[in-house]
């Protein structure tokens, strides 16, 4: 977090150093220490003074942006505070989408820790964003003819930060709008940094197109040994579809998994059958009647377990049909997806790996345009029997970078299911917690065009992470400094801005300033602490 205090109405109010009588390399006290840098003073002043005419206009735009950001940040905090105290509803981590998105906490997953590379990227992005912020203050000051004293990296108690120190007397002698340009420059450059990162992320597929394919299926970069998919997927595999819906990139992978999980949680049929085992009412397969007649049949709920390699299936009625379908065991199926045979459900033990090769039916699949009653008269729509905490997800993948599939004429050639497997891929069914499974994979929306470039598969992901992390950190830095709180740029901006309200005397302006700063600091503290509590505690 960047923190700076460049000037107040009285010199005794300054908390951080404003000027240096002697060029000390650092300062140390019981609660504050810093490391001062003098090497860039002359270069920054020379650059700012040489381009002063353009920079004054440039940072004047930043003043307007900063006041809009000041009002917007207050509105965001009030919105989040209202959500925190909205009674009569369950607390959810998604209640703080705006702040979560800003801090980049929407991707936090319980049980998963940051890798060494992720930590390095976060540190680099933070240092770069802080440097951009302080560079804005220094160049804006130089454009007005104000020489900086030094740039410092400090630690106040346990809070790290950076500052630019100016000559206090010269700073106070500047016109108010020149002071605003200096105070608002850091926020403005952070906003510009966010815009540049966003533009580069948008253009990244085009820039990498000569070497990488984009949005043609997410590629698996890493499958940790603890992942539930470690037995099915390996590095270099490409995910093709989930529940019959094609997957183009890693974003669609997570989006579809969240949709499947949401359907499972909101499934009324699952809740109604929670006393024994829940039936995933929407997902079915068109099983030939001859196969059902030769399968093992279970009638009682306490006998629903099938032998190894077999899975329990039950009939799925056609919801758009008012007629009852004759049951193969002398019973009948109703329109609620169950079957009646002397008051007991009829279940069939079938080989799951053979069933998933059959045509799909039911309305629970992610693919669109499918008829609920797509089975012929010689087939029955059968759905898997699951316990309430489990979900049935069908995942198809290919392995284009394996030696037997890397030849150009064989890369995407998939055999039929006659042998039970595809030559360059396959399909498997996952049973369990979908979101944990989805987050356990490290995926990339980019794939190398040539097989021998598989070693470079991490490069696009590295670029994406650096740009995304820099975007979030820079946005967070600008947001925090636009807040009307003590010790940040918002305090100086608000104090100088109040001077333009001429009908307020000095005493009233000081009271208004203190009221805004105290209220803004308390509001920010409450919202941030509650948000991080929801993300780190309630979500876990």
pLDDT given for residue 290 in this prediction: 85
> How many CB atoms neighbour CB 428 within 10 A?
16
Instruction: Tell me the sheet residues that pair with 333.
Output: 339
Query: Are the C-beta atoms of 180 and 6 separated by less than 8 Å?
Result: no
Whether pLDDT at 421 is above 70: no
Cα 184 from chain centre: 29
Structure-model confidence comparison of residues 436 and 318, the more confident one: 436
Full 3-state SS string of 266-282: CCHHHHHCCCCCEECCC
Backbone angles phi, psi at 432, to 5 degrees: 150, -155
What confidence score (pLDDT) does residue 159 get?
A: 73
- Within 8 A by CB and 6+ apart from 249, the residues are 214, 215, 217, 218, 445
Q: Which residues pair with 421 in a beta bridge?
A: none
Say how far apart CA 430 and CA 228 lie, in whole Å.
8
- Confidence grade of residue 231 (pLDDT, cut at 50, 70, 90): confident
Say yes or no to pLDDT of 328 above 80: no
- The pLDDT value given to residue 226: 87
**pLDDT confidence of residue 339:** 43
Please write the tens of the pLDDT for every residue from 353-399: 888 888 888 877 776 545 556 788 888 888 888 777 778 888 999 98
pLDDT of residue 54: 96
Q: How far apart are CA 159 and CA 155, in angstroms?
A: 6
Looking at residue 161, its pLDDT comes to 81
Whole-number Å distance between alpha carbons of 99 and 120: 23
Of the two residues 125 and 303, the one the predictor is more confident about is: 125
pLDDT in tens, 33-61: 888 889 889 999 999 999 999 999 999 99
Sequence-ordered alpha helix ranges (H) in 85-238? 97-103, 116-143, 168-172, 176-208
Say how far apart CA 59 and CA 56 lie, in whole Å: 5
pLDDT at 405 over 70: yes
Looking at per-residue pLDDT, the higher value among 225 and 159 belongs to 225
User: Residue 448: pLDDT band by 50, 70, 90 thresholds?
Assistant: very high
Q: How confident is the model at residue 332 (pLDDT cuts 50, 70, 90)?
A: very low
Instruction: Spell out the long-range contacts of 523-530 with Cβ–Cβ below 8 A and sequence spacing 24 or more.
Output: 523/77, 523/78, 523/81, 524/77, 524/483, 524/485, 526/81, 526/84, 527/77, 527/80, 527/81, 527/84, 527/99, 528/99, 530/84, 530/96
pLDDT at 376: 84
Is 516 or 403 the better-scoring residue by pLDDT? 516
Compare 282 and 173 and report the one with higher pLDDT. 173
As a whole number of angstroms, the distance between CA 231 and CA 223 comes to 9
- Specify the higher pLDDT residue, 86 or 58: 58
Residue 483 has pLDDT above 90, yes or no: yes
Angle at 104 between CA 531 and CA 489, to 5 degrees: 75
pLDDT for 157 equals 74
Tell me if 414 sits within 8 A of 425, measured CB to CB: yes
**What band does 476 get if pLDDT is binned at 50, 70 and 90?**
very high
**Rounded to 10 degrees, what is the CA torsion of 469, 105, 70, 12?**
-80
Domains belonging to the chain, first-starting first, are 11-205+464-538 (no CATH), 216-274+389-445 (2.30.42.10), 276-387 (no CATH)
In this predicted structure, what is the pLDDT of residue 31?
73
CB 491 within 8 A of CB 517: yes
For residue 320, is pLDDT > 50? no
**pLDDT band, residue 13 (cuts 50/70/90):** very low
The percentage of residues in the chain with a pLDDT greater than 90, rounded to a whole number, is: 34
Q: How confident is the model at residue 458 (pLDDT cuts 50, 70, 90)?
A: very high
Active-site positions read: 134
pLDDT class of 333 with cuts at 50, 70, 90: very low
| Cβ pair 2, 485 in contact under 8 A | no
Q: Is 399 left (phi over 0), alpha (psi -120 to 50) or beta?
A: beta
Selected residue with higher pLDDT from 403 and 170: 170
pLDDT the model gives residue 98: 56
């Amino acid at each position: 977090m960047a923190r700076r205090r460049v000037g107040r109405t009285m010199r005794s109010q300054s908390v951080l150093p404003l000027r240096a009588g002697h060029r000390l390399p650092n300062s140390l006290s019981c609660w504050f220490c810093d490391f001062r840098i003098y090497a860039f003073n002359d270069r920054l002043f020379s650059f700012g003074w040489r381009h002063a005419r353009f920079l004054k206009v440039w940072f004047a735009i930043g003043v307007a942006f900063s006041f809009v950001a000041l009002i917007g940040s207050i509105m965001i905090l009030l919105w989040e505070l209202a959500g925190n105290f909205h009674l009569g509803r369950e607390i959810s981590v998604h209640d703080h989408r705006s702040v979560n998105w800003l801090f980049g906490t929407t991707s936090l997953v319980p049980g998963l820790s940051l890798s060494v590379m992720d930590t390095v990227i976060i540190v680099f992005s933070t240092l770069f964003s802080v440097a951009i912020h302080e560079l804005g203050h220094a160049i804006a000051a130089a454009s007005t003819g104000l020489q900086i004293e030094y740039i410092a990296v400090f630690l106040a108690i346990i809070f790290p930060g950076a500052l630019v120190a100016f000559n206090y007397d010269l700073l106070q002698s500047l016109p108010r709008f020149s002071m605003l340009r200096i105070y608002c420059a850091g926020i403005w450059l952070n906003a510009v940094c966010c815009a540049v990162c966003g533009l580069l992320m948008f253009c990244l597929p085009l820039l990498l197109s000569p070497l990488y394919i984009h949005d043609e299926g997410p590629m698996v970069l890493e499958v940790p040994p603890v992942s539930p998919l470690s037995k099915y997927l390996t590095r270099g595999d490409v995910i093709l579809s989930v529940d019959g819906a094609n997957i183009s990139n890693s974003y669609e992978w997570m989006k579809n998994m969240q949709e499947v999980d949401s359907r499972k949680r909101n499934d009324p049929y699952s809740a109604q059958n929670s006393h024994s085992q829940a039936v995933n009412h929407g997902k079915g397969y068109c099983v030939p009647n001859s196969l059902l007649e030769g399968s093992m049949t279970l009638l009682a709920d306490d006998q629903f377990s099938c032998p190894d390699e077999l899975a329990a299936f039950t009939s799925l009625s056609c919801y758009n049909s008012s007629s009852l379908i004759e049951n193969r065991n002398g019973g009948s199926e109703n329109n609620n997806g169950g079957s009646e045979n002397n008051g007991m459900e009829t279940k069939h033990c079938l080989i799951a790996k053979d069933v998933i090769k059959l045509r799909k039916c039911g309305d629970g699949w992610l693919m669109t345009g499918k008829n609920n009653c797509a089975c012929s008269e010689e087939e029955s729509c059968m759905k898997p029997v699951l316990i309430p905490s489990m979900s049935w997800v069908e995942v198809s993948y290919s392995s284009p970078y394996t030696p037997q599939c890397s030849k150009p004429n064989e890369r995407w050639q998939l055999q039929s299911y006659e042998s039970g497997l595809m030559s360059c891929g396959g399909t498997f069914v996952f049973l369990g917690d979908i979101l944990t499974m989805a987050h356990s994979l490290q995926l990339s929306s980019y794939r190398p065009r040539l097989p021998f470039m598989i070693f470079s598969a991490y490069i696009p992901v590295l670029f994406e992470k650096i740009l995304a992390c820099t975007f979030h950190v820079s946005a967070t830095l600008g947001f925090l400094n636009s807040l009307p709180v003590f010790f940040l740029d918002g305090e100086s901006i608000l104090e100088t801005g109040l001077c333009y309200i001429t009908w307020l005397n000095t005493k009233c302006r000081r009271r208004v300033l203190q009221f805004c700063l105290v209220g803004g600091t308390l509001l920010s503290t409450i919202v941030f602490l509650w948000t991080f509590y929801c993300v780190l505690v309630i979500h876990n």
